[in-house]
């Protein structure tokens, strides 16, 4: 399994600088995938010297994922015997989407998401008409946030969004940060399917019939469950569409005939056997 990390962060947050630094440090060949339109700024000399490889990705049109450069490139990386792969996400990428991709690609082991934030730009970005939500998502979804050009105000703003941040000056080795520390201290750890935070997901698929009232009660009172969605079949044979968030649990009658099939997003301490009483 090839270790894979994702470097996310808005335009000008220092992603390319970090990757150049990483290439300078690295003693083993690294694959770098740059998932961005525009010009490639990686120092090519570094790449040649270190036997590493950089591939620039063209995302293609979002209406269509046929132009699947990322997948093709990951396959190429496998052939090339690199020791680790870094994906430089585009400035507007929602990192969790790329992480999901990395998770589901055979042969790779996702270590986590590192989001870069230039402290000086943070206040402006978090109030920007167009990208405030994107930047916030990049911070919240990261396993680690790396701050540079910080001041007290930036630290306060970051602290309000995440506790998992460190400041550039604290980093001794980017290789260690990305491919040692991030793996060990990663929030997701053994959760294979949800790359950020403490949540994981389970799919509950059963032919057993369910009592809707008891299920609603269960979902409303179980603090381990963050979200749930899917189809539920009750003891009268009716199918219900379930949509549950932290604030709201909603069942609506569905014409679709199916057994129970729902997805639960929950913290690690959920004991699936605690669901037993909801069955009819």
Partner 1 sequence: MVGVGGSSPLVSTISLNTLFICYSYLYMIKVYKAKSIITMNPSLPRAEAVAVRDGLILETGSLDSMKPWLENNDYEIDDQFKDSIIVPGLIDPHLHPSMAAVLLPTFFITAMEWKFPWGDTPATTSPEEYDKRLKEALSNPTHKDIFITWGHHDLWHGPMSRSRLNKIEQKKPIVVWNRSFHELCMNDGALDYLGITEDDIKGASQIDFDRGRFFELGLGYAIQKLNPYILDPDIFREGLLKLKEVVHFGGQTTIADMAVGLFDFDNELNTQLELYENDNNPFRVELIAHATALINYAGGSNIEAEKLISKLPERNTHRLNFRKRVKLFTDGAFFAQVAQLMEPGYIDGHEGEWLSTPEQFEEVARIYWNQGYAIHVHVTGDLGLELAIDTLEKLQFEKPRFNHGFTLEHFGLSTPEQVYRLSKLGANVSANAYYVHELSDLYANHTVGFERASSMSRIGSCFREGVTTSLHSDFTMAPAQPLMSMWVAVNRINEKGVLMSPEERISPQQGMEAITINAARILGLDHEIGSIRAGKKADFTVLAQDPLEVDPMTIKDIKIEATLFEGKVFHISNR
Looking at 24, 28, 44, 60, which residue binds partner 1 (CB under 8 A)? 60
| Contact call for residue 25 and partner 1 (CB under 8 A) | no
Q: Which stretch binds partner 1 (CB under 8 A): 34-42, 44-52, 76-84, 170-178?
A: 34-42
Residues within window 221-250 making contact with partner 1, judged by CB under 8 A: 227, 229, 231, 243, 245
Main-chain dihedrals φ then ψ at residue 136, nearest 5 degrees: -60, -45
Q: What CA–CA distance (Å, rounded) separates 147 from 136? A: 14
Q: Which two tokens stand for residue 66?
A: 């046929």
Please report whether residue 101 would count as binding partner 1 according to CB under 8 A.
yes
Q: Which helix (H) or strand (E) holds 8?
A: strand 2-9
Q: Helix, strand, or coil here: 12?
A: coil
Q: How far is the CB of 215 from partner 1 (least distance, A)?
A: 18
Binding-residue total with partner 1 (CB under 8 A): 58
Angle at 200 between CA 233 and CA 234, to 5 degrees: 5
Window contacting partner 1 (CB under 8 A); options: 15-23, 85-93, 182-190, 216-224 = 85-93
> Hey, which residues between 182 and 201 contact partner 1 (CB under 8 A)?
192-194, 201
d(CA 252, CA 27): 57
30 vs 70, beta carbon nearer partner 1: 70
Of positions 39, 79, 172, 190, contacts partner 1 by CB under 8 A: 39
Q: Which of 30, 147, 232, 265 binds partner 1 (CB under 8 A)?
A: 265
**Do the bridges between strand 260-267 and strand 199-206 make them parallel or antiparallel, or are there none, so unpaired?**
antiparallel
| Least distance (Å) between residue 195 CB and partner 1 | 10
In the complex, least distance from residue 26 CB atom to partner 1, rounded to whole angstroms: 24
- Tell whether residue 10 is a contact of partner 1 (CB under 8 A): yes
Report the alpha-carbon distance of residue 207 to residue 232 in Å, rounded.
10
Choose, by CB under 8 A, the member of 2, 17, 21, 56 that binds partner 1. Answer: 56
* Angle formed at CA 140 by CA 136 and CA 143, multiple of 5 degrees: 140
Place of tokens 């005939």: 257
- The H-assigned helical ranges of the chain are 15-25, 44-49, 69-79, 95-103, 119-126, 132-140, 152-161, 174-176, 182-184, 212-221
How many Å apart are CA 257 and CA 239, to the nearest integer? Answer: 6
Q: What does the DSSP 8-state code read for residue 92?
A: T
Which residue, 95 or 119, is less far from partner 1 as judged by CB?
95
Task: Please give the residue ranges that form the binding site for partner 1 (CB under 8 A).
Answer: 10-11, 37-40, 56, 58-68, 70-72, 75, 90-92, 94, 96-97, 100-101, 103-106, 128-131, 133-134, 137, 192-194, 201, 203, 227, 229, 231, 243, 245, 255-258, 261, 263, 265
């Amino acid at each position: 399994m090839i270790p894979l990390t994702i470097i996310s962060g808005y335009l000008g947050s220092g992603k390319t600088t970090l990757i150049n630094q990483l290439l300078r440090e690295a003693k083993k060949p690294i694959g770098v995938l740059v998932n961005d339109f525009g010009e490639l700024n990686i120092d090519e000399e570094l790449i040649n010297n270190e036997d590493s490889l950089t591939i620039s990705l063209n995302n293609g049109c979002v209406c269509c994922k046929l132009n699947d450069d990322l997948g093709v490139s990951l396959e190429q990386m496998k052939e090339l015997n690199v020791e680790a792969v870094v994906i430089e996400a585009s400035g507007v990428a929602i990192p969790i989407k790329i992480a999901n991709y990395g998770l589901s690609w055979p042969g790779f082991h996702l270590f986590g998401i590192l989001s870069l934030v230039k402290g000086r730009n943070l206040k402006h970005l978090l109030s920007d008409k167009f990208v405030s939500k994107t930047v916030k998502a990049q911070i919240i979804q990261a396993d680690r946030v790396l701050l540079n050009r910080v001041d007290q105000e930036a630290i306060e703003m970051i602290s309000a969004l995440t506790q998992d941040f460190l400041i550039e000056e604290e980093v001794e080795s980017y290789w260690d940060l990305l491919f040692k520390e991030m793996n060990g201290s990663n929030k997701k750890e053994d959760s294979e399917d949800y790359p950020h935070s403490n949540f994981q997901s389970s799919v509950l698929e059963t032919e057993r019939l369910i009592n809707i009232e008891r299920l609603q009660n269960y979902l409303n009172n179980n603090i381990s469950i963050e979200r749930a969605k899917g189809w539920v079949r009750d003891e009268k044979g009716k199918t219900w569409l379930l949509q549950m968030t932290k604030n709201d649990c909603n069942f609506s009658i569905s014409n679709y005939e199916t057994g129970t099939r729902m997805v639960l997003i929950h913290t690690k301490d959920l004991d699936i056997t605690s669901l037993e009483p909801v069955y009819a």
